[in-house]
Amino acid sequence: MSTEFRLEGGSSASNRVLVIGLDGATFRALNPLCEAGFMPNLQRLVANGAYGPLQSTIPPISAAAWTTFITGKNPGKHGILHFVSLDWQQEGEITGQGVEISPGTFAVVNANSIKDATLWQMVSEAGKRVAVINVPMTYPPRPLNGLMITCMLTPPGAEHFTYPPELKDELEDYEIELDLKEKNFESSSVHVIYRLNEIMDKRARTALRLMQKEPWDLFMVVFTETDRVQHRFWQYLCPATAGYDRPNGEKYRLALHSFYANLDTWIGKLIDEAGAGVDVVVMSDHGFTAMARRRIYTQALAGELGLFSLRKASWSNRLRLLVEGVFGLRYKQIYYMLSKVVPKRLLVRTLQDLRTRDRAGYSSQRGRIITIQQGIGGLMLNQAQLGPDLAPVLAELRGRLEQLRDPVDGCKLVTRVTVPDEIYSGPFTRKFPPLIFFLEEGYGLSRGTGRYGRMVEHQPTAPDGQGTHDPVGILILQGPNICPQKLTNELYIPDVTATILYLLGLAIPDDLDGRVLEEAFDVDFVRARPVRQGQGRKVQEVPEEKSPWYSRDEEEAVKARLRGLGYID
């Protein structure tokens, strides 16, 4: 490698760190699997290590959470809140590039959107070698002292998805993500589990081969297959979930147990290959829970709050609301129905045009509701309609949200309403929705309007995806100086970043939001190697381009994948 990296901070430790990411992993699913004997390697890690629940970001979405890990900072500092930009002030209307995560055009974020120094940069510049495989928010790849294979944001057929570029020639049959046709219920459920297992095998084999071949100080691989399995099969995986004992559940569980047993085998192989003296970190970006069965529809809610008026709506808005309200059909459902008889290119172009018209139709409205995550919503306000002073409008809307009641049974709908500065810190809070609200447990947001214009509907069964993200993930630390224990203090994702830097013998930048988890270590070890503080890296502000992607086709391909995964509509 020709690139030279400057060694900073004086002496460095000889420790190496292996990080295994299990996207969406939660102890509520893993504990029963360990107790049943399907995951002995993970069970030993917990027994011999320090472990505890890891608090995700708000919202608990992979883009925000993994970026927080990558930078060690909260979304207010790195600027990523979702897979799409939510810069509501950029165009001075309802939103900027980030519109409601539903109809309209929006900009999908990627590694170029991260506005801060990354863990890979910090470690590389300290002269240490890094290997990064499938960590979300790493496409497009950036130079580092080591190697990188990018993530789910890699467009299908992308030419550049590794660093160094020639690494892709060594990957053989490596796959980044499940094909959309397989994901979108066009394959049998058991086949989907089989294919996710196959992709996981290819990823793990590649990681093992590179671990054996390349020198490294920090090696990280993320298995996103756990997230995909839980989105679709949660009710058959978690014993505490309604529907677990359905007749076909046993058939799926055989395949699911095989999947997790296989994952556990690979965890064991990676740890064995890393060696006895290596510190191991197993983590997830968020947890999982069941989909809410009480749905609050954003369009109807906007009408209830006085943000949306059907009288001012465009013809495309009215047509969409009619189709949704009477027939219960969304864009995604219409797409799959028509895709069997209409050429794909024509269908995609037509739906893109309708989304654009939908977005343009909101210019006459006071604002809209966006879905940040299942139980978290945001208000986007149209300053062209409301004027420059939004304070009284926000106060009025806050009061209305707090008073909302379920028309079916009178239950309260919103548990908390807040502003970004109460959740985040940093220069990017001004780009986030000016009001953020949290729903009561059991309620979730859905785009559009319910049948016959209803704002709330109670559904007898879960929607298509059986599981959704939860704020509580997992953290397990094991190593020669880590004491076996259950960690009782609150654990946050930036703490993992700081602890990894500490394990590598590096100083902790003073602008990181995390702390070193000193309580996990032997007291004498911490006394002999106290935490060192370093100066935060100043990231030069670069004028943002219209799109962080190489081409429009790339971005559209990734949008299609994110829609297929359920992250956007």
User: Are 298 and 285 found together in one domain?
Assistant: no
User: Are 553 and 421 found together in one domain?
Assistant: no
Query: Would you state the pLDDT for residue 198?
Result: 96
Query: Would you state the pLDDT for residue 356?
Result: 62
User: Are 263 and 367 found together in one domain?
Assistant: no
Taking the C-alpha atoms of residue 569 and residue 553, their distance in angstroms, rounded to an integer, is 18
More confident residue, 356 or 25: 25
Taking the C-alpha atoms of residue 287 and residue 55, their distance in angstroms, rounded to an integer, is 9
User: Are 476 and 457 found together in one domain?
Assistant: no
Query: Would you state the pLDDT for residue 102?
Result: 36
User: Are 282 and 379 found together in one domain?
Assistant: no
User: Are 442 and 458 found together in one domain?
Assistant: yes
Q: Which of the 8 DSSP states describes residue 542?
A: -
Structure tokens at 185: 């219920």
Tell me the DSSP string of 384-404.
HHH-S--HHHHHHHHHHHHH-
Could you tell me if 555 and 174 are in contact, meaning their C-beta atoms sit under 8 angstroms apart?
Answer: no
Mean predicted confidence (pLDDT) in 124-136:
97
Nearest to 371 by CA among 466, 285, 469: 469
Query: Would you state the pLDDT for residue 30?
Result: 97
Tell me the DSSP string of 7-35.
--SS------EEEEEETT--HHHHHHHHH
Query: Would you state the pLDDT for residue 540?
Result: 46
User: Are 451 and 551 found together in one domain?
Assistant: no
Structure tokens at 452: 């016959």
Please state which of the ranges 15-24, 123-132, 306-315, 535-544 shows the lowest mean pLDDT.
535-544
Q: Name the pTM for this structure.
A: 0.88
Residue 4 domain flag: no
Could you tell me if 413 and 404 are in contact, meaning their C-beta atoms sit under 8 angstroms apart?
Answer: yes
Query: Would you state the pLDDT for residue 94?
Result: 30
CA distance to 62, 332, 484, per residue, from 20 (Å): 15, 34, 19
Please state which of the ranges 151-165, 312-326, 469-483, 503-517 shows the lowest mean pLDDT.
312-326
**Which amino acid does the sequence have at 266?**
W
Please state which of the ranges 184-188, 376-380, 430-434 shows the lowest mean pLDDT.
184-188
User: Are 142 and 171 found together in one domain?
Assistant: yes
Q: Which of the 8 DSSP states describes residue 512?
A: -
Mean predicted confidence (pLDDT) in 498-515:
97
More confident residue, 243 or 492: 492
Please state which of the ranges 198-212, 232-246, 320-334, 365-379 shows the lowest mean pLDDT.
320-334
Mean pLDDT of the chain: 85
User: Are 506 and 529 found together in one domain?
Assistant: yes
Mean predicted confidence (pLDDT) in 470-483:
97
User: Are 302 and 440 found together in one domain?
Assistant: yes
User: Are 484 and 453 found together in one domain?
Assistant: no
Taking the C-alpha atoms of residue 118 and residue 537, their distance in angstroms, rounded to an integer, is 10
| CATH code of 154's domain | 3.40.720.10
Range of the domain at 186: 17-290+468-534+543-564
pLDDT band at 536, cuts 50/70/90?
A: confident
For 275-303, the pLDDT digits (tens) are: 989 999 999 999 999 989 899 999 889 98
Taking the C-alpha atoms of residue 300 and residue 303, their distance in angstroms, rounded to an integer, is 5
Taking the C-alpha atoms of residue 97 and residue 540, their distance in angstroms, rounded to an integer, is 22
> Could you tell me which residues come within 8 angstroms of residue 432 by beta carbon, excluding any fewer than 6 positions away?
75, 76, 81, 86, 88, 378, 420, 424
Mean pLDDT is highest, among 312-326, 448-462, 497-511, for 497-511
Taking the C-alpha atoms of residue 393 and residue 397, their distance in angstroms, rounded to an integer, is 6
Percent over 70 (pLDDT), the chain: 79
* Whether pLDDT at 500 is above 60: yes
Structure tokens at 111: 């590694």
Query: Would you state the pLDDT for residue 7?
Result: 32
User: Are 396 and 277 found together in one domain?
Assistant: no
For 307-335, the pLDDT digits (tens) are: 886 666 665 666 666 666 665 666 566 66
* Whether pLDDT at 91 is above 70: no
513-529 burial code (b ≥16 CB/10 A, e <16): bbbbbeebbeeeebeee
Could you tell me if 237 and 29 are in contact, meaning their C-beta atoms sit under 8 angstroms apart?
Answer: yes
Give the chain's domain count. 2
